Amino acid sequence: MESLTELLAEVQRGRPPAADGGVTIVPQPSPRDAGVIAFTAHAVVFTDLDPGWVRDRLPADDLSAPLCPPFLQAIADRTGRRIGNVDLLGLAPPLDGPPPVPLSEVTGGDHPRVARARRFRDAVRVWTGQGGLLAVGRGVAGRWEIAVEVEPGHRGRGAGRTLATCARHLVPEPVWTQVAPGNAAAVRAFLAAGYQPVGAEVLLA
């Protein structure tokens, strides 16, 4: 059976699942990570639930079903997990050379952003600079994930785009990001920084 790690590695190579209207069910890559990723006309469900039970709750003629509330709530009820936000999933290749602006690494583990990031990622590192904060760590299936926060006084000046670009210089592999679609400013910043939309994702915490 294909693992989520292998599947995401193929996406990083530009080979997403076939747009065939199908659903792929794979085991959870870790006890922490369970959820659904919707690619173009193909969904991937990563859970340790019985695959037959999962398929019984997915109408064969509804491409949107894996990300809809009834299916997600069924999994949440069955596993005792909480449904997270439906996020835009973005991906960008690494860039050579140093980041375009100076960054200062936050080394203390008591920083609130570090503590939050560690709930969802391993090997977390955090930097400040350009009027904001950048967090990098290994998230779902070991992929490199980033998060950016811009201070209110620096918004609308390109700081988010710059920090998102910096992440591509700090990580030697393709970088993933999860962005709430309603956060239009963040979506624009990541697009401007070279991140391409590859799907949508819901995590079950």
Tell me the whole-structure pTM to 2 decimals: 0.92
Q: What is the pLDDT of residue 111?
A: 66
Per domain, the residue ranges of the chain are 4-88, 89-196
Architecture of domain 89-196: 3-Layer(aba) Sandwich (3.40)
Give the alpha-carbon dihedral of 81, 82, 87, 90, to 10 degrees: -30
Q: Give the Å distances, CA to CA, from 121 to 124, 135, 138, 139, 202.
A: 6, 10, 5, 4, 15
Q: Give the Å distances, CA to CA, from 28 to 5, 12, 31, 162, 202.
A: 10, 19, 7, 33, 14
Q: What is the mean pLDDT of each run of 10 residues along the chain (205 residues)?
A: 91 96 96 97 97 94 94 97 97 97 83 73 90 93 94 84 97 96 95 98 96
Q: What is the pLDDT of residue 115?
A: 74
Q: Which amino acid is at 47?
A: T
Residue that is written with structure tokens 């200062």 in the block: 104
Q: Which amino acid is at 199?
A: G
Q: What is the pLDDT of residue 151?
A: 85
